[in-house]
């Protein structure tokens, strides 16, 4: 009896090299903070939502397998965190603001105030888009992600993402035009 032993040729897959958490945090915190704000997390909770996003990322970083980019993975986490914050806000009727005694009394520069007002106008316009269009629009236009990355984050088809983006751009431009006309 002849026994043939086949040898299995194993290809080695290079190990995924992940940045340390501090590097990951500093590379993405500003973009995720803006993303959460643009998705409708109330301004007073954006810092907390950003922190929650990174807490989840920290807990799950060791299990990250590289099926997507770190940027896409983090935006997916932030998207779920934003939904949780908006849901909590609508269910509970909002959180109570902190006592004015606890707030920072430092005055902001005039430019900062003007930028905040402009951003508030953009956020008000974004609030008028439906949730799917808003998410797609913010991910592409503000976060700079591609349609395939958005499809992965939102667990939808690339064609669906393109359709939502086209509709969102059209609606956003209509809203900007109406705002300019004073309607």
Residue 60 has pLDDT above 80, yes or no: yes
pLDDT band at 46 (very low <50, low <70, confident <90, very high): very high
C-beta of residue 162 within 8 angstroms of C-beta of residue 147: yes
Q: Give CA torsion, residues 54, 131, 129, 86, to 10 deg.
A: -60
Strand ranges (E), the chain:
none
Distance of CA 107 to the CA centre of its chain: 29
Could you tell me the CA-to-CA distances from 79 to 73, 103, 146, 171 in Å, in that order? Answer: 10, 28, 16, 22
How many angstroms separate the CA atoms of 84 and 79, rounded? 9
Closest CA to 89 of 121, 44, 130: 44
**What's the confidence (pLDDT) of residue 65?**
86
Identify the residue with better confidence: 13 or 108. Answer: 108
C-beta of residue 45 within 8 angstroms of C-beta of residue 53: no
Summary mean pLDDT of the chain: 83
pLDDT band at 141 (very low <50, low <70, confident <90, very high): very high
Least confident of 90-104, 111-125, 134-148: 90-104
What domains does the chain contain, in order, with CATH numbers? 18-93 (1.10.1740.10), 113-183 (1.10.10.10)
């Amino acid at each position: 009896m002849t026994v043939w032993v086949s040898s299995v040729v194993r290809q080695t897959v290079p190990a995924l090299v992940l940045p340390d958490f501090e590097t990951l945090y500093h590379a993405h915190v500003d973009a995720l903070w803006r993303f959460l704000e643009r998705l409708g997390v109330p301004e007073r909770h954006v810092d907390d939502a950003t922190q929650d996003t990174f807490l989840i990322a920290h807990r799950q970083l060791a299990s990250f397998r590289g099926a997507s980019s770190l940027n896409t993975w983090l935006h997916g986490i932030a998207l779920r965190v934003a939904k949780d914050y908006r849901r909590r806000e609508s269910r509970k009727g909002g959180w109570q603001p902190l006592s004015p005694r606890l707030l920072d009394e430092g005055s902001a520069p005039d430019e900062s105030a003007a930028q905040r007002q402009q951003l508030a106008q953009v956020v008000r316009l974004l609030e008028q888009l439906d949730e799917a269009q808003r998410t797609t629009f913010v991910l592409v236009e503000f976060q700079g992600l591609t349609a395939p990355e958005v499809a992965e984050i939102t667990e939808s088809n690339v064609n669906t993402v393109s359709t939502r983006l086209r509709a969102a751009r059209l609606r956003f431009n209509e809203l900007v035009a109406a705002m300019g006309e004073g309607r």
